[in-house]
Amino acid sequence: MAKQTPLHATHVAAGARMVDFAGWDMPVNYGSQIEEHHVVRRDAGMFDVSHMLALDLEGADATKWLRGLLANDVSKLRTPGKALYSCMLNPAGGVIDDLIVYYFSDDNYRIVVNAGTADKDLSWMRRNIADTGANVTLESRRDLAMIAVQGPNARAKTWQALPGSESVAGELKPFQAAWFDEILIARTGYTGEDGYELTVPADRAVAIWDALAAAGVAPCGLGARDTLRLEAGMNLYGQDMDDTVSPLDAGLAWTVDFKDETRDFVGREALLAKPQANEMIGLILDDKGVLRAHMKVFTAHGEGETTSGTFSPTLEKSIAFARLPLGVVAGAPVEVEIRGKRAAAHLVKLPFVRNGKALTG
């Protein structure tokens, strides 16, 4: 039986179409996925992301342990509430998961991992703690719920729904978080729009969801979340990278920090031994059709494939991420194999859309 978030009954009562996602019964839409997409680009929408897992890390070795576990370097985090995006790699340099780390102090962090990899991640981390003998504790926080509020009006409507929160969250910069009334308010997201991700006690999730709805924030499902993140050039674990793919080949080289040559993180040697071999780039279809994952792409530099694809409601065109041989450049014409036939397309820099504006076409 699929797992349920604390907001499950609220989604069902609202008439959401529920689907299995990573073992969770989640809303894919509440009616029109296209309208949900547009409301996030133009106003404010909210997503139940409680299927993701928060982990609390504490202990004298917390910073040291994370510096050895993650490809990005948490020692950059010096301001309480500052967040860092990173990949967690295996020894071969493949991506076990991509995650966000929040710094509170040198011995206190929160880590948020993906739903589909949560059990694998937790097992890997605990095994690594045992192997390294790190003086840390790692606590799974399934007593929490998470709500993402996204869009140009998301912050103002969150302040309306949570009176007093503006005094704490109003000055937050992107990738910063602060506590308000037992709620962690983080200026992060997965849509390419401004807004917050709220981590709240599970028993308060329904009341906060209802308050946001009363403030004019529209409930949105995972369908719109996927089209929004793709337009925003944001990877999805299991499609755009996995434990067989290097972050260098997944367009995530910017998350790998080699600066400190004495920092020996898991996967470092493999990445240095096998440099980047592919380019992750955007693709727009010029002919008719819809781009999906795992379609062959033919370029002047050789073949590659799409990793994620969809119809873009903002651009009103079919778009995709493509993993292609090094040497390809934005603007170059390519062909994509769709149902056995080649269709014309062209390459573009990612992202396609940011802050409601199309950056390419």
The pLDDT of residue 1 is: 86
Low-confidence ranges of the chain (pLDDT < 70): none
- Domains (range + CATH), the chain: 277-358 (2.40.30.110)
Cα 28 to Cα 140: distance, rounded to the nearest angstrom: 26
Residue identified by tokens 């260098």 is: 248
Strand duo 95-105 + 108-113: pairing: antiparallel
Q: Let me know: does 48 contact 55? Beta carbons within 8 Å.
A: no
Q: What is the pLDDT of residues 201-213, one digit of tens each?
A: 999 999 999 999 9
From 313, 310, 281, 275, select the one nearest 297 (Cα to Cα).
281
HEC string for the chain: CCECCCCHHHHHHCCCEEEEECCEEEEEECCCHHHHHHHHHHCCEEEECCCCEEEEEECCCHHHHHHHHECCCHHHCCCCCEEEEEEEECCCCCEEEEEEEEEEECCEEEEEECCCCHHHHHHHHHHHHHHHCCCCEEEECCCEEEEEEECCCHHHHHHHHCCCCHHHHCCCCCCEEEEECCEEEECCCCCCCCEEEEEEEHHHHHHHHHHHHHCCCEECCHHHHHHHHHHCCCCCECCCECCCCCHHHCCCHHHCCCCCCCCCCCCHHHHHHCCCCEEEEEEEECCCCCCCCCCEEEECCEEEEEEEEEEECCCCEEEEEEEEECCCCCCCEEEEEECCEEEEEEEECCCCEECCEECCC
Type of residue at 128: N
The pLDDT of residue 123 is: 98
From 47, 41, 59, 143, select the one nearest 109 (Cα to Cα).
59
pTM of the model: 0.97
The pLDDT of residue 360 is: 83
Q: What is the pLDDT of residues 306-360, one digit of tens each?
A: 999 999 999 999 999 999 999 999 999 999 999 999 999 999 999 999 999 999 8
Residue identified by tokens 């499950």 is: 8
Q: Give Cα separations from 229 to 6, 136, 353 (angstroms).
A: 24, 34, 9
Beta bridge partner(s), residue 99:
86
Q: Give Cα separations from 93 to 252, 262, 263 (angstroms).
A: 12, 18, 15
From 360, 359, 358, 354, select the one nearest 152 (Cα to Cα).
354
**Residue 142 neighbours by CB distance under 10 Å:** 12
Cα 283 to Cα 89: distance, rounded to the nearest angstrom: 27
Beta bridge partner(s), residue 111:
55, 101
Residue identified by tokens 């179409």 is: 17
Q: Let me know: does 225 contact 190? Beta carbons within 8 Å.
A: yes
Max alpha carbon distance in the chain (Å)?
Answer: 59
The pLDDT of residue 266 is: 98
The pLDDT of residue 219 is: 98
Q: What is the pLDDT of residues 276-305, one digit of tens each?
A: 999 999 999 999 999 999 999 999 999 999
Type of residue at 85: Y
Cα 322 to Cα 306: distance, rounded to the nearest angstrom: 4
Determine the angle formed by the axes of helices 33-42 and 222-231, rounding to 10 degrees.
50
